[in-house]
Amino acid sequence: MASSSFSIPQPCAQPWAAMSPTAAGRFCATCATEVVDFTTLSEAEILAFLAGQGGRPVCANAYATQVASPPVARWRRWVLAGLALLGWQSASSCATQPPQQPPTAAAATVPVTAEQQQSITIRGVVLDGANGPGVAGVFVFINDTQYGTTTDENGRFELVLARSWEPVRAGALTLRVQGSPFVFKVKEVPVKLPAAGPPVELVVRMESVEGRGKVMGKIRQPEPPVMPPKG
């Protein structure tokens, strides 16, 4: 069900499992608020419930597909919040936008040898769980930089890196694989870089977050139109 009748502009970080059960959902002791479980309701039932609240604030637990899609800028803030919840307390601004292509050998700013001018290729596929399908649109960042790539419709990605680039010269790097914060945990993949040989091949299996696909917080309904001024 996809509904545009309400949104959750500021998702809540409190764990659903830690709340006390109520008839309508759970009680959040931190906020002293009942959180209504929308995941068991149809769209018609949700609309009827909201209509009966008389404009009173409602905090809800819902599937991400039940709420209106947030603007891109707000979704990026949700990504940062999700990263912080998953342990990325020092999440940098690079997580707010898609990865940039890493610099090529031709763009190197320091003198390099013929061997350093060569490149190394990292190829991989990002899967949904142990045996799930490929996941499209996943960000693959290199170390803590803004550089990386995005998986294609089959969950595949490829990075061609200049050996003269500082992260490559170290002989090893870490790929930070980041999907939707409502679906997947952020995953770190250490990668050893051989001095020569074929491309490095990777299979990245993503793990689901608790309450996968759900978002919780105070809901906001669109304001109804008002009559225009009369001439």
Determine the pLDDT at residue 231. 62
6 domain residue, yes or no: no
- pLDDT for residue 109 is more than 80: no
Judge if 63 and 110 occupy the same domain. no
Better-scored residue on pLDDT, 34 or 114: 34
23 domain residue, yes or no: yes
Judge if 66 and 108 occupy the same domain. no
223 domain residue, yes or no: no
Which pTM value belongs to this model? Answer: 0.60
Q: Tokens 């309904």 map to which residue?
A: 221
For the chain, what is the domain count?
Answer: 2
228 domain residue, yes or no: no
93 domain residue, yes or no: no
As a whole number, mean pLDDT of residues 55-66 equals 87
Determine the pLDDT at residue 72. 42
- 157: Cβ contacts below 8 Å, ≥ 6 apart: 123, 124, 125, 126, 138, 140, 149, 150, 151
Distance separating alpha carbons of residues 19 and 59, to the nearest angstrom: 13
Three-class HEC string of the chain: CCCCCCECCCCCCCCHHHCEECCCEEEECCCCEEEEEHHHCCHHHHHHHHHCCCCCCCEEEEEHHHCCCCCHHHHHHHHHHHHHHCCCCCCCHHHHCCCECCCCHHHCCCCCCCCCCCEEEEEEEEEECCCCCECCCCEEEECCCCEEEECCCCCEEEEEEECCCHHHHCCEEEEEEECCCCCECCEEEEEECCCCCCCEEEEEEECECCCCCEEEEECECCCCCCCCCCC
Judge if 148 and 201 occupy the same domain. yes
Residue-wise pLDDT for 20-59, tens only, equals: 999 999 999 998 999 999 999 988 898 888 888 887 889 9
Judge if 59 and 149 occupy the same domain. no
- pLDDT for residue 145 is more than 70: yes
CATH number of the domain enclosing 191: 2.60.40.1120
115 domain residue, yes or no: yes
- pLDDT for residue 95 is more than 50: no
Judge if 55 and 111 occupy the same domain. no
Judge if 117 and 192 occupy the same domain. yes
Please name which of 50, 77, 84, 83 lies closest in space to residue 66, comparing C-alpha atoms: 50
CA–CA distance from 9 to each of 32, 55, 59, 70, 220 (Å)? 20, 17, 11, 7, 7
Reading the block at residue 16, the tokens are 């659903």
Please name which of 178, 17, 207, 173 lies closest in space to residue 84, comparing C-alpha atoms: 178
Judge if 61 and 110 occupy the same domain. no
Distance separating alpha carbons of residues 86 and 56, to the nearest angstrom: 32
> CB of 192 within 8 A of CB of 170?
no
Q: Tokens 């500021």 map to which residue?
A: 10
Residue-wise pLDDT for 186-222, tens only, equals: 999 999 999 888 999 999 999 998 778 888 888 887 7
64 domain residue, yes or no: yes
Alpha carbon 5 to its chain centroid, in Å, reads 23
Domain that holds residue 151: 99-206
Judge if 195 and 114 occupy the same domain. yes
Angle at 86 between CA 25 and CA 134, to 5 degrees: 90
Judge if 103 and 188 occupy the same domain. yes
- Quickly state the pLDDT bin for 104 (edges 50, 70, 90): low
Select the highest-mean-pLDDT range: 62-66, 118-122, 225-229. 118-122
184 domain residue, yes or no: yes
- pLDDT for residue 90 is more than 90: no
Judge if 103 and 128 occupy the same domain. yes
Judge if 140 and 186 occupy the same domain. yes
Judge if 108 and 167 occupy the same domain. yes
